[in-house]
């Protein structure tokens, strides 16, 4: 059984390799990982620590993410590519028909909804807001302490595949990413999904997203009408080491980093490492004006510590490999 994605010539020019890890995809994949015993060498310690600390709302949230089979597509909106807050904002705006459709799909697979699943399916505002709050808390408590490691592995994975294939065939990138991704122009075949179907892109292109917590097999959204994305497991070189609780609003900068950059810029660098931040989010989180936040991000970008990308009307900031290295207290070796 396999899923086959059919490309046109236009689609081949619209293959995008994600610029940063998607926090909501990592939330979803990590919830899958929590409910299995797989990947013990990489995730065993993390899983033991997180399971022991799960709150009651987080345990209810896990019901939306069974480790095998369907998980609601609305949990991973396309806007999540822009960071946690943009993704959650998009999720909070999910149409009621989409919520109901996806949750009925989950029930059809024999899964039990959380206690607030019925009101969520009805699009009740409090249930939707509760979902957003719980997802945000889960990310901050269970993933944010490790996000620098996720980001470092993502940057390494992206660097390994950023160059165009020597063959000149844009689709050749896809076949080089994972053993279960097989490229035979103009079709990408994805194995391991336990489905048999065809998806025709018809000029929409596709986002290719390496995922830290995705394990063994690539995955896609079930509804082919949604923006196409192929999520695949990135490679791992070491175990995910356990960490202490994350500081509220971002990682606490070290004294040496504060001495180097100043407290404000060190705090901004720590905040953008937790899934990326827009200028507005940085201003809101630090209490400064948007103009002041923009000034500091410009200085950090000019120093090679931040990357800035425009996503619609927002400007997203993420750390560069050098910025991540400074946060981890490492020095880059001389070239």
57: left (phi over 0), alpha (psi -120 to 50) or beta: alpha
Identify whether residues 27 and 137 lie together within a single domain.
Answer: yes
Q: Which of 98, 190, 175, 80 is nearest to 135 (CA)?
A: 80
Identify whether residues 10 and 91 lie together within a single domain.
Answer: no
Identify whether residues 15 and 160 lie together within a single domain.
Answer: yes
Residue 129: domain span: 23-145
Identify whether residues 123 and 212 lie together within a single domain.
Answer: no
pLDDT 10s digits, 154-164: 888 888 887 76
Q: How many domains does the chain have?
A: 3
Transcribe 222-266 into DSSP letters: S-TTSPPEEEEEPP--S------PPPTTSPPPPHHHHHHH-HHHH
CA dihedral 80, 85, 88, 94 (to 10 degrees): -80
Going by pLDDT thresholds of 50, 70 and 90, the confidence category of residue 248 is: very low
d(CA 192, CA 182): 12
Identify whether residues 205 and 276 lie together within a single domain.
Answer: no
Q: Does 245 fall in a domain?
A: no
Q: Does 202 fall in a domain?
A: yes
Q: Does 165 fall in a domain?
A: yes
Phi–psi pair at 219, nearest 5 degrees:
-145, 165
Q: What DSSP character marks residue 1?
A: -
Q: Does 55 fall in a domain?
A: yes
Identify whether residues 155 and 126 lie together within a single domain.
Answer: no
Q: Does 238 fall in a domain?
A: no
Transcribe 29-91 into DSSP letters: HHHHHHTS---HHHHHHHHHHHHHH--HHHHHHGGGS-SSS---GGGS-GGGGG-HHHHHHHH
Identify whether residues 137 and 162 lie together within a single domain.
Answer: no
Cis peptide bond prior to 327, omega within 30° of 0: no
Q: Does 239 fall in a domain?
A: no
Last residue of a domain, one of 92, 123, 145: 145
Going by pLDDT thresholds of 50, 70 and 90, the confidence category of residue 165 is: low
Q: Does 290 fall in a domain?
A: yes
Which tokens belong to 89?
């904002």
Identify whether residues 54 and 135 lie together within a single domain.
Answer: yes
Please determine, for residue 330, whether its predicted confidence score (pLDDT) is greater than 60: no
Question: In terms of pTM, does the model score above 0.95?
Answer: no
Identify whether residues 84 and 225 lie together within a single domain.
Answer: no
Q: What is the CATH number of the domain that holds 264?
A: 1.10.10.10
């Amino acid at each position: 059984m396999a899923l086959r994605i059919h490309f046109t010539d236009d689609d081949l020019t619209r293959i995008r390799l994600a610029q940063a890890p998607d926090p909501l995809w990592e939330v979803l994949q990590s919830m899958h990982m929590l409910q299995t015993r797989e990947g013990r060498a990489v995730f065993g310690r993390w899983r033991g620590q997180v399971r022991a600390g799960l709150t009651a709302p987080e345990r209810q949230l896990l019901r939306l993410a069974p480790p095998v089979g369907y998980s609601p597509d609305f949990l991973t909106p396309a806007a999540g590519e822009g960071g946690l807050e943009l993704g959650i904002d998009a999720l909070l705006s999910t149409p009621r028909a989409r919520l109901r459709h996806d949750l009925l799909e989950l029930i059809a697979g024999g899964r039990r909804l959380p206690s607030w699943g019925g009101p969520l399916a009805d699009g009740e505002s409090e249930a939707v807001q509760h979902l957003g709050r719980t997802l945000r808390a889960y990310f901050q408590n269970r993933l944010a302490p490790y996000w620098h490691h996720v980001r470092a592995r993502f940057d390494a994975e992206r660097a390994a595949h950023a160059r165009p294939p020597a063959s000149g065939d844009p689709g050749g990138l896809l076949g080089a990413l994972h053993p279960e991704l097989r490229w035979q122009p103009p079709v990408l075949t994805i194995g391991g999904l336990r489905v048999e179907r065809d998806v025709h892109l018809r000029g929409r292109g596709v986002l290719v997203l390496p995922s830290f917590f995705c394990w063994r097999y690539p995955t896609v959204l079930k509804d082919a009408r949604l923006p196409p994305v192929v999520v695949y497991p990135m490679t791992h070189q070491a175990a995910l080491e356990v960490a202490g609780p994350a500081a509220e609003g971002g990682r606490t900068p070290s004294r040496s980093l504060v001495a180097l950059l100043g407290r404000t810029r060190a705090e901004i660098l720590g905040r953008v490492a937790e899934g990326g931040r827009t200028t507005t989010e940085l201003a809101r989180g630090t209490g400064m004006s948007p103009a002041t936040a923009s000034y500091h991000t410009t200085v950090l970008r000019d120093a090679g510590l931040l990357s800035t990308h425009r996503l619609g009307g927002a400007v997203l900031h993420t750390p560069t490999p050098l910025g991540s290295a400074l946060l981890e207290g490492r020095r880059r070796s001389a070239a």
